[in-house]
Each structure stands twice: as structure tokens, then as C-alpha cells.
Amino acid sequence: MGEPVTTTATLDELREAVAGLSARMAELEAAAIADKPILTVEESARYLSISTKTIQRRISEGGLPHFRVGGDKGVRIERAELLRAARAGFPKLRAGRSRLHSRPHFPGSRTDPGRPKEKLPPATERA
């Protein structure tokens, strides 16, 4: 076995070196993504510096064109479409579900928000 490596670098110098390497790695990743015409959800989020959850939400709202490969899990986004949607502010193309009404509403059903509410007769008449 070799001798252990000793260094005279201080902790601050090591932190500075790690920060420099991290910054360089981020630059290289950004350059690699910038050259790809088709991106994954993770790459799209990294490219725009937003969370993957935001990308997934924009996809489900219809504000981000995408296509699937290899089943349900493989979502791909064209970089040109990603930039176009981001510049437009990710417009909603479909009405998203309200948090209060998480189930789909069918016209005329009990859960349809446009259906008039049924009024129950007073308790004295229900007996």
C-alpha cells in the first residue's frame, strides 16, 4: 500500500476548491443539456433551474407539449417546445382540477359544480 497523502491545505481552501469544481460541473451539465434536442423531465428542470415537480405540473395542466417513450414513465420534451412554453409563461391549455374537487365531475351528476343544489325539506316534514 502507498503512503497516506498529507496536505497543508486549510479547510477554507478545500471548500473553495470544491465550490469551484461544483460550479464547473454545473457548467458542463448545462452545456451538455443545451446541445440535446430532446430532454427528460429532470434535464428540463435543470435547464430552466426549476423543480421537476413544476415541470410535471405544467405537463399535467397541458401547458407543456411532451411525448412518452417506453410506457408511462418515459416523458420527453423537445427543447425548442420547452423554451417556447417557458417564454409564454407555461399557459394552461386545460382547466386544472380544483384542490377542493379532486374527483372528475360528470355533467348532471351529484358532484357537478354547475348542478343546482338540492334543497332538503325542513326536518319537521322529513319524518
pLDDT for 41 equals 92
Number of domains in the chain: 1
Residue with cell 386544472: 96
70, part of any domain = yes
pLDDT for 5 equals 65
Cβ-contact 100, 93 below 8 angstroms: no
Cβ-contact 75, 59 below 8 angstroms: yes
- CA separation for the pair 70, 68 (Å, rounded): 7
Helices (H), 35-111: 41-48, 52-61, 79-87
Nine-digit cell at 71?
A: 410506457
56, part of any domain = yes
CA 28 to chain centre: 22
**Global confidence as pTM:** 0.52
> Which residues of the chain have a pLDDT value below 50?
95-103, 105
pLDDT tens per residue, range 59-90: 888 888 888 887 666 889 998 888 888 888 87
Instruction: Print the domain residue range for 84.
Output: 37-93
**Which DSSP state fits 38?**
E
99, part of any domain = no
- E strands, 3-125, are 38-40, 67-69, 74-78
CATH of the domain at 87: 1.10.10
pLDDT for 102 equals 46
104, part of any domain = no
pLDDT for 110 equals 56
Type of residue found at 122: P
- At residue 77, φ and ψ (nearest 5 deg) are -130, 130
